[in-house]
Amino acid sequence: AQSVTQLGSHVSVSEGALVLLRCNYSSSVPPYLFWYVQYPNQGLQLLLKYTSAATLVKGINGFEAEFKKSETSFHLTKPSAHMRDAAEYFCAVSATGGGNKLTFGTGTQLKVEL
């Protein structure tokens, strides 16, 4: 079975500051890991994914995440936050990597302040 834990349901940063959204996973088999973003009144959109290749994954809009097996983590970062980054972010895990049956975390709402 797989699960993810997102620490912090709400994160607030200043525009231009570092964004760090935390995700820890649990999986009985090598995991595939994903970050999705949900903007208001829009569907979930894939930010980036880890599928057992490079441990540092770069995604859209300047986001990246690093897979750390020893820490069972897949934290999402962005060096400089922008107002348009305000959204809800979900970490998800899949055992097969085939995209089916993703298990999502409870989400982190990112607020960006001037």
Query: Does 24 participate in binding other proteins (rule CB under 8 A)?
Result: no
CA terminus-to-terminus distance, the chain: 41
Q: Which is nearer to other proteins, 3 or 14 (CB)?
A: 3
Q: Which of 34, 37, 25 is nearest to 109 (CA)?
A: 37
Q: Which is nearer to other proteins, 1 or 114 (CB)?
A: 1
Q: Which pair of structure tokens corresponds to residue 43?
A: 């569907």
- Which span sits near other proteins by CB under 8 A: 14-22, 29-37, 59-67, 75-83? 29-37
* Minimum distance of other proteins from residue 85's CB (angstroms): 19
How far is Cα 112 from Cα 114, in angstroms, rounded to an integer? Answer: 7
